[in-house]
Amino acid sequence: MIKYFEFEKDLEKIDKELLSINSNDNKNINKIESLNDDKQKILKKIYSSLNAWQKVQVARHSSRPHTLDYINYIFKDYLPLHGDKNFSDDSAIIGGFAKIDNISVVVIGTEKGNSMESRIKHNFGMAKPEGYRKAQRLMKLASKFKLPIITFVDTAGAFPGKEAEERGQSESIATSISVSLKVKTPIVSVIIGEGGSGGAIALATADKILMLEHSIYSVISPEGCASILWRNTDFTNKAAETLKLTAQDCLKLKIIDQIIPELSGGAHRFPLDQANIVKKHLISNLLEISKADVNQLVQNRNIKYLNITADI
C-alpha cells in the first residue's frame, strides 16, 4: 500500500473507492473508468504545482526508487566492487562495473535501503569516509580502463558520527570532489532523491548533472536551516522555499544541467517507467560528452565548477 501525503487526500479517497468496487462486475466498468480519469487529472494537477516543501516530502518518499533499483532496472551485467582497500566496506555507497545499452561503465551511488533491515545495513544512505574512499577507488579504476562514470545521488548527507570524523570525513569528501575533477573519463551524475550537503557533492561533481523533477539539492536540510536561522522547526516550509533546493531552482541557478521529468504522481508510483526515462537521458548525455577530447572534458569540468563558485 502506497503512503499518501497530506496534499494527496483527494487521491487517497479515489483509490479507496476503486478498491471497494468489484472490477469483475460489468456494471462497474464505466464507474471505474470515470474514477481513473479523475485520478489522472488529480495527479496531474497536484504534481504540476508542488511547492518546495512538498517536493522535499516526495524526494524522501520511502517507496521512491533508490540506486539499487535503478541499477536493476537500467543496467545489465552489474559486477559490484567492495571496500576502500584501507579500512572497510561502507554499504552506504555501492558501485561496480555494468553495462547500459551495451556501453560499459562504472556506476556508483548512495543507497538508502527500502526496509528497516536494509536501511540499517546501508546506514540510511549516509556514508562514512571509507564509503567516499571506495568511490574514489572506483573513479580511478574507471579512468584507468577508460570507462564512463555514472553516479546516483540520494543522501541526506554524509554520516556525522564521531567515528566518521575521527577517520577524516571532511578530507574524504574533499578528496572525492578533487578526484572527480581530475579523472580523465566522462562523468554523468543523477540526483534521484535527496542531494544533501557535501555528502552529495562528493558524488555529484560531474560533466553533466541531471536531476529528477521532484528531487532536491541543498547545502542543508530545511529542518536544519529552520533550526539555525529561526531556532524553530515550525519554519521548515519557509526554509525549504528560501533554500532554492528544487530542480527548477537549481537549473535556473546553473547548478545542474538538466531536469529529468517525472510521471504525474512521482517516481515512487511508477518506478520502472521512471527508470526507462532516466535511462534515455543517461544514454543521450553519455553519447554527447563522450565525443569530446578527454583533456578538454576535464578542463571544461573544472571551469564549470569555478564558474558556479564565482556566481555564488
pLDDT at position 29 is 79
Q: Is pLDDT larger for residue 223 or for residue 28? A: 223
State the Cα–Cα distance between residues 110 and 127, nearest whole angstrom.
Answer: 8
Whether pLDDT at 125 is above 70: yes
How many CB atoms within 10 Å of residue 62?
A: 12
State the Cα–Cα distance between residues 260 and 245, nearest whole angstrom.
Answer: 15
pLDDT at position 77 is 95
Beta-sheet pairing, 216-218 with 149-155: unpaired
Half-sphere exposure in the Cβ direction for 9 (13 Å, CA): 2
Give the pLDDT band (50/70/90) at residue 33.
confident
Whether pLDDT at 311 is above 60: no
Give the pLDDT band (50/70/90) at residue 19.
confident
**Model pTM score:** 0.92
152-163 tens-digit pLDDT: 999 999 999 999
State the Cα–Cα distance between residues 102 and 107, nearest whole angstrom.
Answer: 14
66-110 tens-digit pLDDT: 999 999 999 999 999 999 888 989 999 999 999 999 999 999 999
Give the pLDDT band (50/70/90) at residue 309.
low
Mean pLDDT computed over 182-210: 95
User: How long a stretch of residues is the chain?
Assistant: 312
pLDDT at position 175 is 96
204-218 tens-digit pLDDT: 999 999 999 999 999
Copy the grid coordinates of residue 217.
539539492
Q: Angle at the Cα of 139 (from 134 to 143), degrees rounded to 5?
A: 150
State the Cα–Cα distance between residues 128 and 4, nearest whole angstrom.
Answer: 32
State the Cα–Cα distance between residues 121 and 184, nearest whole angstrom.
Answer: 33
